[in-house]
Amino acid sequence: MTGFLWAIAQTFCVVLAAPLMAGWVKWLKCRLQNRKGPPPWQPYRDLLRLSRKHVVLADTASPIFRMAPYIVFSVTILAVSTVPVITVQLPVAALADVIALVGFLALGRFFLSLAGMDVGTAFGGMGSSREVTIASLAEPALLMAFFTLAMNVSSTNLSTVICQLAQRDITLYPSLIFSSMGLILVAIAETGRIPIDNPATHLELTMIHEAIILEYSGRHLALMEWAAMLKLTLFSLLIVNVIVPWGVALTLVPGDLALAALIVTGKLLVWGMILAVSETIQAKMRLFRAPQYLGLAFILSLLGMMSHIILEV
């Protein structure tokens, strides 16, 4: 039971901290571009302001449009709850493994895309179309990356995966290297970052995520934005905890947990820096270059799996 409480608390923390992660990356990026950006906690202000505002609903919108933010946000929370953040002793992780995690994200995206098409604007449809196209390539790559991990430790349970990886001696697994690279590439695509999408753009013809939520306002928009930040945090957590699993608490001892929290925060901050740097030095791709990018991710993941079977078993 305590496990469940810990899990809920942990999820709660991540949900609350998610805007900070997004703000941190944004702030860093501004600094790197020699601009004085908004402070890292700016997203909190935005969310609060948005949630106080009127909802202006398009007259052509259907109930799906109003349901979507809640569903997207809920399933993202659910997805977050299955990821070990500071401890692997997580009963929630047993409820849903990595495949289910991918499923949750897909469910969220399903409704997000529907919402984009609901009002009946050209932009919404365009955004949805691009979103599902990219997802349909990214999702298999993500699953492949996870499968490589799963085969490595013969489990699809994230807690078990991270636990096993953390307990191992440092060994150079080619499969893990490949799948990690794949995972990172997919994570960038899935969270709508450069070079696939630009979270800061509002240029109609290039945007994906922004095009979908164009018609949202007020608390609905707040939820959508928050969900996006949560997703960024989720993938960041996955990357830092799977690729660099050390530091995650293997038991529920308070001391270990505090240490783990510190280490995880540190890892996240570092990951944020890497993300900011990469976003600064790259430009956004044309949409039809995205398949090549994601194809690379897919090939990497697949190579990872192959090398696991060929070289490591």
Residue 45 binds other proteins (CB under 8 A) = no
Question: What is the token pair recorded at 107?
Answer: 């469910």
Quick one: which segment of 20-28, 120-128, 235-243, 255-263 binds other proteins (CB under 8 A)? 120-128
Question: Whose Cβ is closer to other proteins: residue 23's or residue 69's?
Answer: 69
Question: Whose Cβ is closer to other proteins: residue 5's or residue 64's?
Answer: 64
Binding mask 148-187 for other proteins (x = CB under 8 A): --xx--xxxx--x---------------------------
Question: Whose Cβ is closer to other proteins: residue 11's or residue 26's?
Answer: 11
Q: What are residue 87's phi and psi, to 5 degrees?
A: -140, 150
Interface with other proteins (CB under 8 A), residue from 42, 51, 201, 265: 51
Q: Is 282 left (phi over 0), alpha (psi -120 to 50) or beta?
A: beta
User: 195 preceded by cis ω (within 30°)?
Assistant: yes
Binding mask 208-247 for other proteins (x = CB under 8 A): ------xx---x---x------------------------
The set of long-range contacts for 21-30, using a CB threshold of 8 Å and a minimum separation of 24, is 21/229, 21/232, 21/233, 21/236, 21/268, 21/272, 22/228, 22/229, 22/232, 22/233, 24/269, 24/272, 25/232, 25/272, 25/275, 25/276, 25/279, 28/272, 28/273, 28/276, 29/276, 29/279, 29/280
Question: Whose Cβ is closer to other proteins: residue 7's or residue 188's?
Answer: 7
Burial label, 52 (beta-carbon count in 10 A; 0-12, 13-18, 19+): exposed
Q: How far is the CB of 47 from other proteins (least distance, A)?
A: 9
Question: Whose Cβ is closer to other proteins: residue 260's or residue 302's?
Answer: 302
Quick one: which segment of 191-199, 242-250, 278-286, 287-295 binds other proteins (CB under 8 A)? 287-295
Interface with other proteins (CB under 8 A), residue from 16, 64, 200, 277: 64
